[in-house]
A and B are shown apart, each in its own frame.
Chain A
Amino acid sequence: MDSMAEIKQTFFQECDDLLGELETGLIDMEGGDGDCETVAAIFRAVHSIKGGAGAFGLDKLVAFAHIFETTLDEVRADRLEATPEVLSVLLRSSDVLADLVRAAQNDEELGDDATAGLVEELSAFVGDKAGAADEAPAGGEDISFAPLGTAIDLDDAFGDLDDVEENQSFTIKFRPMPELYANANETVLLFRNLAQMGDVTVACDESQIPTLDEIDPEGAYLAWTIIVHTSHSKDELLEIFEFVEDDCTLEITSEEPSDDADEPELADDEALPVEEESPPAKADRAPDEAASGDDVASEDNVVSLVEKKEKPAAKEQASKEKDTSDATIRVNLGRIDRLVNLVGELVINQAMLTQGVIDAGLERGDSVEAGLEELKQLTREIQDSVMAIRAQPVKALFQRMSRIVREAARATEKSVHLVMEGEMTEVDKTVVERLADPLTHMIRNAVDHGLEKAETRIANGKPAEGTVSLTAAHRSGRVVIEVSDDGAGINRERVRNIAIEKGLISEEDKLSDSDIDNLLFMPGFSTVEKVSNLSGRGVGMDVVKRAIQAVGGRIMISSQPGKGSTFSISLPLTLAILDGMVVEVADQTLVVPLTAIVETLKPTPSDTHELGAGSKVISIRGEFIPVIDAGLTMGYRAEPADPLTGVVLSVETEDGARAAVIVDTIQDQRQVVIKSLEENYGHVDSVAAATILGDGRIALILDVDAIIAREGEALSFHENSLAATG
């Protein structure tokens, strides 16, 4: 890849982050949580995308980003109120911007009609300024809307500054709340940091100060208007206030270049005495003074001051790195996978070493044993740390869902509020990627089928706006993602009737509520009489279930009539390590993924039934389940084993059918490192992967779905048996 392509790729990666920030900000605003900071952040996001796009000559992207940014600038300057109507257009614009970025990334052309309507709507908000969009320079910045690094002509007043053209004026309005002081923040330190950024002029509003008998000593009465002439960006100024932004009202605006730029107008009519007698501290002066004043502070205070004084240096460093301020690096995924692989080797090696030490028969308390114990500990820590590298918050995935909700809501003409929780929950990257499709489908289902129409909701005493919530949380070593709606719940009567109609169950079948709910996951089941173009895309919940199972997950439904439904997905934290049951079959060791196993049992003679041609079924609680002899299937033995002498693993396949796999004995239940056979050897039917056991032997991991697929007859029998039982 040439360097330009690499830079471009980085740009698109950054676009992903920026689009995420943009969407989060807009959603915050929609939820009423947005303040001027939020508007500034989303403006910056669009602005950065525009800047980068300009550098790569992505004209279409630049043009749209420009009109989008112009509208945001109006909102930022309080000239346009962020009404729900405006926010709706802004949210859709963020969707289109994402589409444009995606199209640019794939070297595709997005049709003009995708943007035309929105451009018109955005232009309507900004009035005259809209025209500027057409003239948006493809190559980069235009002065009127760009607050960052914009060239501004300054008067001679700033002639002493070396790089006059890069300087810009910002007006900062800062009013601390009592919490700011209570949280051990100090305005003096903030201003000292600010003074290091450039020329500051401080006006303190003392008008709110009460007399001594009325004052709350820990209250906040002072407010400031600060004008900063600086070569630094607004972002960098904002960074100074990063830790106090929740405890103050803060507004940073860039001054438009004007003739009187050297005499910026202050909000208060108070003179600026600091200018007269003692000029504002300059970068080269403040630290010295600070040091001289702090040198003799008591020990406790020295510590706290030193800590705080380190901040400016850190800030400077951060500002240099700008977009990498959260101290992250981008690493090729292949490198991480290699590391994960090596750690897997280490885990195996350590298990082998342990086995070797046991075999050597060393005495208890031997130093080798102690060393081995430490090695185990370290290996576990390394393993956890490496897995954490691959872990990603589900936030990006969730953000994509908010768009799905918007689109679904528009298509169904329903008013939907999406609530997201636990976005920072981390899951393995591969799992996150593979969740996108099933989750999209589930969200669409929730809006389309889950929520009632507004009039029905109102009639049922519910708010017209439906709520869909998307939550993620860690629960006992797994990640649980839930999609809930506050709709009508599953119409079980209807589901049951359809299942009977389709021959999935018989009329006599007595099914519990949860059995009926689970019918939704049966292949081909669709409750919608009329296929809507939203969720009825020929994809049923069975596909969702298969996709979830493919990443080692399980899906469950719970539903309450009139109150709504919840789909819970339980996922493993990683795909590199698997919880498996180690079993023995004809002197061979196999691993069966624990996620596939429903239960294990020792059958009695009355449970097993011959079904001609050597086929057997086993009765588990009244249900007949086809028996699969793992030894035969894998070719370990020629003669079928007696189910009565072995152990039966009741497994569930991806399509919801169950089978009984006969093995000789169960050895253990443990985590095993997954080694791909495809990569290292080649595909082997019925084998999902392999692992290396502590004694160095290779054990194959059974592909439960594949062996059942091979037993085609048994499977078709199973389907028929469903109709026959009852």
Chain B
Amino acid sequence: MNFGVLTVTIRTNSLFWEGKPLSTPSSKEQDGRVTLTSVLDLRAAAPLTDELLALRGNDLVIDASKVERIGAPCFQVLLSAVKTWAVAGHTIAIFDESPAFSESATHLGVCLSQHETNENETCL
């Protein structure tokens, strides 16, 4: 069964968050919100790339709470997104990461903070 890789919800939000989804969306500027699906293996990397590409130009919030498994290829895509967003001067952040997501990021030593635009963000 395939429920699709991503669920994308567009919300209006220009604020930072602190590990939790924002409860009061702002209406000033449109930004995106993406909920990562549970299994982010090699097969999920291409659809994830496409979904993220479609959201360029806006700040982006990525919800990692549903992730049950994630591999290096999808981390590569997420890192690429962080870079892409930074180059474009937009904000991107990942929040509410699931234990599986954190553990995989820890094992891989991956840092998903947006260094240039979001220096206070901590690494996973």
Contacts and interface: CB of A to CB of B under 8 A. Distances in A.
Interface of A: 176, 181-182, 184, 186-188, 191-192, 195, 202-204, 206, 209-213, 215, 217-222, 224, 226, 272-274, 276-278, 280-281, 286, 289-290, 292-294, 296-298, 301, 305
Most chain-A CB neighbours within 10 Å: which of B49, B73, B83, B100? B73
Contact of A192 (B98, B102, B107, B111): B107
Interface in B21-59: 38-39, 41-42, 45-46, 48-49, 52-53, 56
B77 A215 contact: yes
A121 B122 CA distance: 57
B10 interface: no
B15 interface: no
B42 A218 contact: yes
B109 A186 contact: no
A188 B68 contact: no
30 contacts: A188-B108, A191-B108, A195-B107, A206-B110, A212-B83, A213-B84, A215-B80, A217-B45, A217-B49, A217-B73, A217-B77, A218-B42, A218-B45, A218-B46, A222-B76, A222-B110, A224-B108, A224-B109, A273-B123, A276-B123, A277-B123, A281-B106, A286-B103, A289-B99, A293-B103, A294-B100, A296-B38, A297-B39, A298-B1, A298-B38
Contact of A213 (B53, B104, B107): B53
B95 to A, nearest CB: 15
B68 A296 contact: yes
Contact of A212 (B39, B71, B80, B106): B80
A286 B99 CA distance: 11
A676 B38 CA distance: 68
Interface in B1-18: 1
B109 to A, nearest CB: 3
Given A209-B83, A215-B77, A181 B103 contact: no
Contact of A181 (B72, B79, B84, B111): B72
B68 A294 contact: yes
Contacts of A215: 49, 76-77, 80
Contacts of B109: 202-204, 224, 226, 272-274
B69 interface: yes
Contacts of A286: 103, 107
Contacts of A296: 38, 68
B70 interface: yes
B108 A293 contact: no
Contacts of A187: 71-72, 108
B43 to A, nearest CB: 9
A292 B99 contact: yes
A470 B107 CA distance: 47
A64 to B, nearest CB: 43
A726 to B, nearest CB: 75
Contacts of A181: 42, 71-73
Contacts of B100: 289-290, 292-294
B111 A204 contact: yes
Given A182-B42, A212-B52, A286-B103, A219 B69 contact: no
Contact of A184 (B42, B56, B79, B98): B42
Nearest to A186: B71
* Closest 7 pairs between A and B when the two form their complex, measured CB to CB: A293-B100, A202-B109, A217-B45, A273-B123, A204-B109, A217-B46, A191-B107
Contacts of A276: 123
Contacts of A202: 107-109
Contacts of B93: none
Sort chain B's interface into a size bin: 35 or more
Contact of A274 (B46, B48, B52, B106): B106
Chain B binding surface, main DSSP class: helix
A305 B72 contact: no
A181 B70 CA distance: 12
Given A212-B53, A273-B111, A206 B79 contact: yes
Contacts of B61: none
Nearest to B3: A298
A176 B108 CA distance: 13
A470 to B, nearest CB: 41
Contact of A298 (B39, B87, B110): B39
Contacts of B76: 209, 215, 217, 219-222
Interface in B96-124: 98-100, 102-104, 106-111, 122-124
B72 A176 contact: yes
A37 B23 CA distance: 54
A276 B100 CA distance: 19
Contact of A281 (B1, B46, B52, B103): B103
Contact of A209 (B69, B80, B122): B80
A212 B53 CA distance: 7
A362 to B, nearest CB: 57
B72 A206 contact: no
Contact of B38 (A176, A195, A220, A297): A297
Nearest to B70: A188
A219 B73 CA distance: 7
Given A209-B79, A298-B1, 9 more contacts: A181-B71, A211-B80, A217-B46, A217-B77, A222-B75, A281-B106, A289-B99, A297-B68, A298-B39
B81 interface: yes
A192 B106 CA distance: 10
B100 to A, nearest CB: 3
A585 to B, nearest CB: 71
A191 B102 CA distance: 14
Most chain-B CB neighbours within 10 Å: which of A220, A226, A278, A293? A293
A625 B86 CA distance: 94
A224 B79 CA distance: 15
B69 A294 contact: yes
B42 A301 contact: no
Nearest to B112: A206
A311 to B, nearest CB: 15
Given A188-B70, A218-B73, A293 B53 contact: no
Contacts of B52: 212
B45 A289 contact: no
Contacts of A176: 72
Contacts of B49: 212, 215, 217
A222 B108 CA distance: 10
Given A289-B99, A294-B100, A277 B107 contact: no
Contacts of A281: 103, 106-107
A579 B38 CA distance: 62
Contacts of A224: 108-109
Contact of B77 (A186, A191, A212): A212
A221 B106 CA distance: 18
A639 to B, nearest CB: 84
Nearest to A176: B72
B84 to A, nearest CB: 4
A298 B68 CA distance: 9
Contacts of A274: 106, 109, 123
A278 B76 CA distance: 21
A184 to B, nearest CB: 7
Nearest to B103: A289
A211 B77 CA distance: 9
A211 B72 contact: no
Nearest to B67: A293
B84 A212 contact: yes
A195 B104 CA distance: 12
A620 B76 CA distance: 79
Given A182-B42, A209-B80, A188 B72 contact: yes
